[in-house]
Amino acid sequence: MKVQACLRMVRVGSRKLNDVASLVRRKNLKEAFHILKGVHKKAALDVIKVLRSAQANASHNHGMLEEKLFVDELTVGKSLVLRRREIRGRGRSGVIKKEFSQIRAVLVEG
Give the single-character DSSP code of 25: T
User: Residue 34's domain spans which residues?
Assistant: 2-109
Number of domains composing the chain: 1
The Cα 42–Cα 63 span in angstroms is: 31
The Cα 12–Cα 80 span in angstroms is: 11
CB-CB contact of 104 with 73 (8 Å): yes
Residue-wise pLDDT for 10-68, tens only, equals 999 999 999 999 999 999 999 999 999 999 999 999 999 999 999 999 999 999 999 99
Residue-wise pLDDT for 79-106, tens only, equals 999 999 999 999 999 999 999 999 999 9
The whole-number pLDDT of residue 110 equals 84
Q: Which amino acid is at 20?
A: V
**Three-class DSSP category at 17:** helix
- Residue 43 belongs to a domain with what CATH number? 3.90.470.10
